């Protein structure tokens, strides 16, 4: 026997159930756009009840009622299947597919075989699982924390994306975001009131985006309605934009058209594109590569490195990440025999740390390096000591420049 709340509306529940059976409840799709390029990158499926006379009923009229019983479970599974059908059809026709997010009620946490059912449905349609994202609202996560943490980590380990929905609407918990292995954070539209001109609101939003980025979460701003909001969100490095400014939720056939257009035509007219930090650092990197085709980030304390090589650098044989000592011995082996000792001594960790302790700003040397084409060229290698506020480790950025 299902327990039902006192304000339970039996007539409406029956109507919704009937509508679901008759195929009247189906997903609309709201596109989501990359905040810098304006490309359509994903979408959210939102349930709509279309009555036989063509009236569109929004979820606020039936989802809260469905949430009072297990009817919501049926709706969510139905929406997921419709989304899978839509994606499968596009794949069969060779059309581009973007990941689609489906809202899942908290009630699924207690559902028997939830995980198996989710995998079965998506696999049955032959879809890569990362084309499906599950949205779980933040407020639903506040209780049963242990259960929700394991629920989410299982879904993630099965290969699905998970978004924390409506973050900032209500009592947001930063520790919840830290503990849950979701990979997407959706910022609630209540945080975007007005045009983001209020100083305190801006500070809060900047803080949320900073911690989300540090936690490697993809950020989506919901309910973006104005260009001013968009401009501010870009300066916060918000990744993805969803809102009426670009597109309202739409039926599948219209969404299919939006997928084939893929990009918002006037998006780049906005001067803020070039000023946003995310885009500015990409541009800066491009300029750096013009002069220095090889850039290496190294952590001397941890004996590790990460290399960013531009295609025209003289030699391409070194692994792009690994042990710093190995990088130096590899680098030295590509030098002219007369320069090998100079190179390996100059860039030994011991020598670099000594220079750092002596207060040097950089260490630089010119050697002859053998290119992939068998020709020696003079290359200047400079290690700049840099600081990252979050670690005490000794870090260097290596810039390599060819002369010949
Ligand atoms: P949500 O998941 O947070 O979805 C975003 C809501 O914001 C949608 O409302 C969308 O139409 C609306 N929205 C998007 N951009 C803008 C904007 O620029 N301005 C404004 N004012 N609104 C915008 P919608 O479609 O009415 O859905 C309401 C809620 O109902 C959803 O909020 C979600 O929590 C729930 N819902 C919808 N479909 C389903 C479903 O299939 N299953 C479950 N469990 N819940 C659903
Ligand atoms: Mg949602
Ligand atoms: Mg939301």
Indicate whether 352 and 265 sit together in one domain: no
pLDDT digits (tens, 9 = 90+) for 219-263: 999 999 998 899 889 888 899 999 999 999 999 999 999 998 877
Indicate whether 269 and 379 sit together in one domain: no
pLDDT band at 39 (very low <50, low <70, confident <90, very high): very high
In the DSSP assignment, the letter for residue 301 is: T
Q: Is the pLDDT of residue 2 over 60?
A: no
Least confident of 43-52, 97-106, 244-253, 309-318: 309-318
pLDDT of residue 5: 66
Nearest ligand 1 atom to the CA of 242 is 15
76 pairs with which residues across the strands?
Answer: none
Least confident of 126-130, 233-237, 275-279: 275-279
Q: What CATH number is attached to the domain comprising 257?
A: 3.20.20.450
CB atoms within 10 A of CB 180: 22
Distance 46 CA to ligand 1 centre (A): 6
**Region 206-223 average pLDDT:** 92
Instruction: Identify the helix (H) or strand (E) that includes residue 66.
Output: helix 63-67
Measuring from atom 12 of ligand 1, which residue has the nearest CA?
Answer: 223
Indicate whether 253 and 296 sit together in one domain: no
More confident: 52 or 271: 52
Examine residue 3 and state whether it is found in any structural domain, yes or no.
Answer: no
Q: Is the pLDDT of residue 280 over 80?
A: no
pLDDT digits (tens, 9 = 90+) for 171-193: 777 888 889 999 999 999 999 87
**Region 20-41 average pLDDT:** 95
Distance 143 CA to ligand 1 centre (A): 22
Indicate whether 41 and 139 sit together in one domain: yes
Ligand 1 pocket, CB under 6 A? 30, 46-47, 58-60, 63, 72, 75-76, 79, 103-105, 135, 137, 165-166, 189, 222-225, 242-244, 249
Percent of the chain past pLDDT 70, that is, above it, reads 91
pTM of the predicted model as reported, rounded to 2 decimal places? 0.72
Nearest ligand 1 atom to the CA of 72 is 44
> Considering its fold, how many domains does the chain have in total?
2
Q: Which residues of 36-47 are buried (b: 16+ CB within 10 A; e: fewer)?
A: bebebbbbbbbb
The values of phi and psi at residue 249, to 5°, are: -60, 140
Indicate whether 271 and 308 sit together in one domain: no
Q: Is the pLDDT of residue 272 over 80?
A: no
Indicate whether 254 and 331 sit together in one domain: no
pLDDT of residue 1: 42
Point out the domain boundary residue: 278, 306, 332.
278
Indicate whether 190 and 321 sit together in one domain: no
Examine residue 284 and state whether it is found in any structural domain, yes or no.
Answer: no
Q: Which of 222, 224, 255 to mutate to test the pocket of ligand 1 (most atoms within 8 A of CB)?
A: 222
Measuring from atom 46 of ligand 1, which residue has the nearest CA?
Answer: 103
**Region 144-157 average pLDDT:** 91
Indicate whether 359 and 250 sit together in one domain: no
Q: Which of 46, 105, 226 to mutate to test the pocket of ligand 1 (most atoms within 8 A of CB)?
A: 46
Point out the domain boundary residue: 278, 309, 338.
278
Q: What CATH number is attached to the domain comprising 304?
A: 3.30.450.20
pLDDT of residue 308: 76
pLDDT digits (tens, 9 = 90+) for 17-26: 999 999 999 9
The residue range of the domain holding 348 is: 292-402
Structure tokens at 14: 């029956």
């Amino acid at each position: 026997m299902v327990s039902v709340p006192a304000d339970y509306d039996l007539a409406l529940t029956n109507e919704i159930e009937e509508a679901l059976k008759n195929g009247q409840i189906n997903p609309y799709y709201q596109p989501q756009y990359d905040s810098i390029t304006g490309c359509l990158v994903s979408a959210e499926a939102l349930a709509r009840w279309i009555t036989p006379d063509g009236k569109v009923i929004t979820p606020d009229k039936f989802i809260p009622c469905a949430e009072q019983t297990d009817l919501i479970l049926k709706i969510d599974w139905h929406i997921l299947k419709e989304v899978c059908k839509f994606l499968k059809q596009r794949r069969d026709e060779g059309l581009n597919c973007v990941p689609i997010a489906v809202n899942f009620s908290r009630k699924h946490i207690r559902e028997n075989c939830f995980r198996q059912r989710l995998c079965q449905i998506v696999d049955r349609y032959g879809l890569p699982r990362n084309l499906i994202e599950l949205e779980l609202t933040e407020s639903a996560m506040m209780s049963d924390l242990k259960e929700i943490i394991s629920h989410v980590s299982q879904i993630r380990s099965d290969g699905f994306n998970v978004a924390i929905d409506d973050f900032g609407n209500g009592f947001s918990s930063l520790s919840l975001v830290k503990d849950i292995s979701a990979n997407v954070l959706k910022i609630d539209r209540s945080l975007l009131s007005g045009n983001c001109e209020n100083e305190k609101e801006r500070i809060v939003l900047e803080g949320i985006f900073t911690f989300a980025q540090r936690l490697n979460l993809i950020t989506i701003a919901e309910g973006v309605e104005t260009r001013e909001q968009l401009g501010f969100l870009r300066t916060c490095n918000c990744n993805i934009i969803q809102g009426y400014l670009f597109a309202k939720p739409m039926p599948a056939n219209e969404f299919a058209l939006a997928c084939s257009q893929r990009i918002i035509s006037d998006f780049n007219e906005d001067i803020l594109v070039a000023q946003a930090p995310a885009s500015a650092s990409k541009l800066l990197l491009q300029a750096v590569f013009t002069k220095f085709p090889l850039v290496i980030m190294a952590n001397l304390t941890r004996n590790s490195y990460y290399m960013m090589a531009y295609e025209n650098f003289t030699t391409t044989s070194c692994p792009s990440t690994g042990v710093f000592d190995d990088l130096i011995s590899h680098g030295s082996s590509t030098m002219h025999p007369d320069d090998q000792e100079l190179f390996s001594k100059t860039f030994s960790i011991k020598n670099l740390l000594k220079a750092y302790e002596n207060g040097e700003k950089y260490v630089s040397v010119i050697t002859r390096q053998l290119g992939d084409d068998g020709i020696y060229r003079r290359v200047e290698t400079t290690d700049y000591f840099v600081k990252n506020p979050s670690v005490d480790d000794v870090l260097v950025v290596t810039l390599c420049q060819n002369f010949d």
